[in-house]
Amino acid sequence: MGRITLRNVAKRFGDVAVIPSINLEVEDGEFVVFVGPSGCGKSTLLRLIAGLEDVSGGVIEIDGVNATELPPARRGLAMVFQSYALYPHMSVRKNIAFPLKMAGMEPAEIARKVEAAAAVLNLTGYLDRRPGQLSGGQRQRVAIGRAIVREPAAFLFDEPLSNLDAALRVNMRLEISELHQTLKTTMIYVTHDQVEAMTMADKIVVLNLGRIEQVGSPLDLYRAPANLFVAGFIGSPKMNLIDGPEAARQGAATIGLRPEHIDLSGSAGIWRGTVGIAEHLGSDTFLRVQVEGIGMITVRAGGDTDLRHGDAVWLTPQPGRMHRFDADGKAMA
């Protein structure tokens, strides 16, 4: 079981309210990703749930029990840190066994559980090495192993992939997702990378300046961003945000158009522009088009598009795909 409820949770450091007040419901077995730019309070929120920071106000409930005042160890949660935080003087085996040893479990039972965790994480051959002799990805797996042996109510991940190189990051992303499918335990995952959020999450929580901007499934957030911040943050390349007379014509302060929702033509269309930079990725081509009277617009085209710098093109927004925002940045129906 791992159902976590936050009610009016607040955190202040001195006079600075890092998190003014947050309400959030994490269902049992859910994979929830906290995403936001750096300094948005997502790591602080995770540390509040873990019990590593004291809340300044509000209530944290884990499985219906008020855990606000409980020390970290008694909350039944396990955390994977950004730096992995392995114990450098202990072997991998002892690292994974440490929480069980602290819980006073029988040595035979500990050995069995460590072997089982090592088998799941492909660490069996490395059990007698020290963390210093392992690669980044292996250390990451040891940190996860140390978390899973405790069979916690929920896993907390604090930007666990940010120290890995790009290829390994994609691999570990898949491994963590698979682990979630196998264990079916609640996971809360903090990242600043919206790609990680989109690919892994059941539910994304977008945070900005200590406030929740929007909560929803990846595709909900992608299709119907509640405000300008979410619209600009989710999606890669970014949504085109256009203000000025062009937006006013649509009866909005700002309009948003995703790069794939713009049709491209060499002869006719609504907006006329010139290609600035064309990024050929093979499967797709991203064109940066300078449109007269509007500015730079990113357009996604097919992989075999053969347009170059300086070519003239016509753009047409697809009907019904336009997002409209009012002067406060809120989405309009």
User: H/E element holding 10?
Assistant: strand 4-13
User: Is 150 an interacting residue with respect to another protein (CB under 8 A)?
Assistant: yes
Query: What are the C-alpha distances in Å from 216 to residues 31, 75, 202, 311?
Result: 12, 26, 8, 40
- The order of strands in the sheet holding 254-257 is 240-243, 254-257, 323-325
Q: How far is the CB of 267 from another protein (least distance, A)?
A: 59
Residue nearer to another protein on the CB measure, 103 or 219: 103
Q: How far is the CB of 40 from another protein (least distance, A)?
A: 20
What x-and-dash track marks residues 130-149 binding another protein by CB under 8 A?
----------------x---
Q: Which of 18, 48, 50, 301 binds another protein (CB under 8 A)?
A: 50
User: Is 119 an interacting residue with respect to another protein (CB under 8 A)?
Assistant: no
User: Is 99 an interacting residue with respect to another protein (CB under 8 A)?
Assistant: yes
Residue nearer to another protein on the CB measure, 85 or 183: 85
Q: How far is the CB of 103 from another protein (least distance, A)?
A: 6
User: Is 78 an interacting residue with respect to another protein (CB under 8 A)?
Assistant: yes
Residue nearer to another protein on the CB measure, 155 or 233: 155
What x-and-dash track marks residues 53-72 binding another protein by CB under 8 A?
------------------xx
Q: What number of CA atoms fall less than 13 Å from residue 90's CA on the CB side?
A: 15
Measured CA to CA, the distance from residue 322 to residue 254 in angstroms comes to 10
Measured CA to CA, the distance from residue 76 to residue 316 in angstroms comes to 54
Q: How far is the CB of 72 from another protein (least distance, A)?
A: 5
Tokens of 226: 């509640």
Beta carbons within 8 Å of 222's beta carbon, 6+ residues apart: 198, 234, 235
User: Is 109 an interacting residue with respect to another protein (CB under 8 A)?
Assistant: no
Tokens of 88: 């450098």
Pairing of strands 4-13, 16-26: antiparallel
**Residues near another protein, by CB under 8 A:** 50, 52, 71-73, 77-79, 81-83, 85-87, 89-90, 98-99, 102-103, 146, 150
